[in-house]
Structure 1
Amino acid sequence: MSGEPEPGLVPEHQRPRHDECESVLLTVDGEQFRVCAQAGRPGAYDFDWLSGPHEYGFGLTNSGGLALSRDELVQAIREFLAEIDPATGYLAE
């Protein structure tokens, strides 16, 4: 995996419609995420944190344009969650 997750709010106009992307629901360490492979952008994904305290998520692009494995998607989610302040539910400062 060569791209680094970029946590934060995804602007509404950049969020894919979930009926227009190939998505999967993943539960990682008790947290639920919808992972959407962006149409027309191989190796690009949007992660929506469904069980989080806020509408929050991140995007990830594999610079090689290759699809990520399930294990790589799970690892990206774990890296995102490691950056979250448990007291606020937002990125730690």
Structure 2
Amino acid sequence: MSGAPEPGSQPEWLRPDQEQSDPILVTVDGQDFRVWARADPPGTYDFDWLSGPHEYGFGLSGSDGSVMSLAEMETAIREFLAEIDPATGYLAE
């Protein structure tokens, strides 16, 4: 990706009508996640927790197929991290 996108536009990889492309790295509260945008179904994302204690992550899909903003991704990551049990590194039961 080169240059800043126009205000209100989405980076090419976020467009729901595109094939899955290269992931981006998103760092939230010191934790690194690789985020993939899937083409099918549109508006579906896979989050791989790269700095976590295990190979772990989560997926999200909007019911309307809408594109997630970076701010929405960061919020989703924070919500995921808030549910992690520090003793196990997995979702709390």
Pick the TM interval, shorter chain: 0.7 to 0.9
Q: With a CA cutoff of 8 Å and minimum separation of 6, indicate the structure with the bigger relative contact order.
A: 1
Aligned to 2:30: 30
State whether residues 22 and 38 of structure 1, in contact with CA within 8 Å, keep that contact through their aligned partners in structure 2. Answer: no
Aligned to 2:71: 71
Aligned to 1:50: 50
Matched residues, percent identical? 68
Cα deviation, residue 39, structure 1: 2.4
Cα deviation, residue 54, structure 1: 0.2
Cα deviation, residue 88, structure 1: 1.0
Cα deviation, residue 23, structure 1: 1.4
Would you identify which runs of 4 or more consecutive aligned residues in structure 1 move more than 4 Å?
none
Cα deviation, residue 22, structure 1: 3.8
Whose Rg is larger? Answer: 2
Ranges in structure 2 where 5+ consecutive residues have no aligned partner: 1-19
What is the alpha-carbon distance in structure 2 between the residues aligned to residue 83 and residue 42 of structure 1? 26
What is the alpha-carbon distance in structure 2 between the residues aligned to residue 39 and residue 21 of structure 1? 9
Q: Which amino acid aligns with 2:30?
A: G
State whether residues 85 and 91 of structure 1, in contact with CA within 8 Å, keep that contact through their aligned partners in structure 2. Answer: yes
Structure with a larger share of its residues in strand: 1
Moved more, 62-71 or 36-45: 36-45
What is the alpha-carbon distance in structure 1 between the residues aligned to residue 92 and residue 86 of structure 2? 8
RMSD value over aligned CA atoms? 1.1
Aligned length: 74
Ranges in structure 1 where 5+ consecutive residues have no aligned partner: 1-19
